[in-house]
Amino acid sequence: MNPSITGFAYLILSVTLLFFIYRLFQYWKREKDVISKLWLYSIVLFLLFTLIKAIGGLFFTDNLVFLRETVYLGTFLHALILASMAYFVFYVKLPQISPWFGSIPIFVLGLIVTILTLNIRFNPFIGPSGAINWGIPASLFLTDVLRVFLYIIVFIPTIIILLQQFKHSESIYAKRKTMGLIIFFSLLVVVGLIDFLFTPIFKLDPIWRDIGFIFSSIILFISLVLTQKSPAVYSSAREISGL
């Protein structure tokens, strides 16, 4: 066993997401509505992704097959996460249209990315810096570009919805909570760009990707602790849902 910095970076992010899920579960338990369920479902899926990466990066760095499987499963989980968030965007902004019209196409595109990834062989290894180099060939890079595209068309509208709610909310508590969500999804976009686009394009050492993960996770944890208070503080979770 040869633990990597990559596994450590994903572990820190997993701890942050655990706190976030704890709060989201409290909100869902109180509200029992579609919005709170979508938030909880999406972040639980994201936690599964980070835990898989953390386990692979900490305990299975010498197992080439397992590391490949973390990439394949992670790509599929991304499809589910993006589909659930697309459902949220349509549910909030286009209530006259079934949210499935937004969710299903995104999920199909995510499945296409997963299938393309499954058909490409790559050889992950730990580099001299202690970070995992996924050994991504040029053919797999094209699927990463598609994945970044899906990130942008789903998460940017989500951020816009939250910004609008932040602007119109009269409650200081709701504004703080919404700001925490804005920071969360903004960091997801930044981390996605670093991981799937900037690192391969500029041929950066993977250690910089992991440093970016760790730095972003620390910022995220601090922002969540400061903004995601007990649901008793808020009059209703709907204040941050855009409804």
Q: What structural domains and CATH numbers belong to the chain? A: 5-240 (1.20.1070)
pLDDT tens string, the chain, 243 residues long: the values are 688 999 999 999 999 999 999 988 988 888 788 888 898 999 999 999 999 999 999 999 999 899 999 999 999 999 999 999 999 999 999 889 999 999 999 999 999 999 988 888 888 889 888 999 887 776 666 787 888 889 899 999 999 999 998 888 777 777 887 888 899 889 888 888 888 778 777 777 889 889 988 998 999 899 888 887 776 655 444 444 443
Report the predicted TM-score, pTM, of the whole model to 2 decimal places.
Answer: 0.87
Length of the chain: 243
Phi (first) and psi of residue 202, to 5 degrees: -95, 5
Q: Where are the alpha helices (DSSP H) in the chain?
A: 5-31, 34-59, 64-93, 100-118, 138-168, 172-193, 199-201, 206-227
Tokens representing residue 12 in the block: 């820190």
Q: How many CA atoms lie within 13 A of 101 on its CB side?
A: 8
Q: What is the pLDDT of residue 1?
A: 67
Put residue 135 in one of left, alpha, beta given phi > 0 → left and psi -120 to 50 → alpha: left
